[in-house]
Structure 1
């Protein structure tokens, strides 16, 4: 992992010796807040799933009395989900993830094929919620999900922050990928906040522990404007976009 605090360089290539590592696929908060040490991080996608805010959360982004909503993967033959694959580099990573994702989050593990942006593939470990776990909330109208998210916060911060950071991360690192569920939910959340006269910035937290990812070829120079994390004000543009049906591009 890069030694610069809060900075991580995304690698373009998966080397032969990398295939011997255990890889974790991040599609939610692990994208910007992995919380564990890793040898390498690579952009790409998995197929056969869609990302949905159907999992409840009573610790990180909600409470028992007022559970929040976080992302999970739902099997979808036509779907694909873009995210980051991390090569694990320490023994403590799996116990940490099992506590964070399984014991507290209600997720189970599953293996899937990860396709890097450069056409390589590896097996990755997924943390995925199922309908049998007690925190499962399931499908609902986006307006209802947005209203619930606006009202929830947990020990890791406000539920709105989770949605906003995930949408921005996806937009920044996968500009060719349109996640209709995520981006339409972001619009509804922003619309709900506006109706309640609540500022997005007041819900975003300090960003402590968050990592800024930069393409590895930018190591010797300053990140370009496209590579810089968008300011929170930029999310307001999403609320102004016209409603339309979006599709996932299987690259």
Structure 2
């Protein structure tokens, strides 16, 4: 088996949960990071869904690519499918990513399925913040997920203005 790459743009960046040989900053063209998935398990419930990130079409997304040893491939892919496909709201795809330093690689990415019932269409930052501020699931409060993602992006020197806008409104709600 050959070594392969996995692209992370949300919690996979700060909690990959699998062994990897190396990680590099990476850019995926054709998709952008978006709080567009209603979470019924990890950051919310069916009765009070949270919001988690998905890759939506258009633009680009900066994140981390993790290189996985070929002999770990089945174990890692099984883990990723169990984690990311709990409600089949993501489409597993192989996409080209640009690694730091200009190298190009194929990576497994999880793209939002815009035809899935849990796909959140065109939420304003204020509406998204209301959902994030009030939801909690098996992995904890929804706002902790958004905060951890933003903190990791800031450590990488990456700005995500839309996610920052949502976080601003979450903080306003929490200060009341």
Q: Which has the higher strand share?
A: 2
Alignment of 1:230-245 (within 5 A): none
Between the two proteins, the alignment pairs up a number of residues equal to 172
Which structure has the higher relative contact order (CA within 8 Å, separation 6+)? 2
Q: Give a deviation string over 1:203-235, Cα, whole Å, max 9, x none.
A: xxxxxxxxxxxxxxxxxxxxxxxxxxxxxxxxx
Shift, 1:142, TM fit: 0.8
Instruction: After TM superposition, list the pairs within 5 Å mapping 1:119-158 onto structure 2.
Output: 119-158=102-141
Post-superposition Cα deviations, 1:81-115, rounded to whole Å, max 9, x if no partner, equal 11111112313111111111113462111122111
1:106 to 86, 89, 107: 89
Cα displacement string for residues 139-162 of structure 1 (whole angstroms, at most 9, x for unaligned residues): 211111101111001011110011
What is the 5 A alignment of 1:84-103? 84-89=64-69, 90=72, 91-103=74-86
Question: What CA deviation, in whole Å up to 9, does each residue of 1:24-59 have, x standing for no partner?
Answer: 100011111111111211112111111110111111
Q: Where do 5+ consecutive residues of structure 1 fail to align?
A: 1-19, 196-251
RMSD, aligned α-carbons: 1.3
SS at match of 1:139: coil
Partner of 2:18: 36
Query: Which residue of structure 1 aligns with residue 155 of structure 2?
Result: 172
Structure 2 CA distance for aligned equivalents of residues 124 and 63 of structure 1: 30
2:28 counterpart residue number: 46
SS of equivalent residue, structure 2 residue 175: helix
Mapped to 2, the partners of 1:117 and 1:38 lie a distance apart of 17
Where in structure 1 do 4 or more consecutive aligned residues deviate above 6 Å?
none
- Do the aligned partners of 1:53 and 1:71 also contact (CA within 8 Å) in 2? yes
Q: Rg larger in 1 or in 2?
A: 1
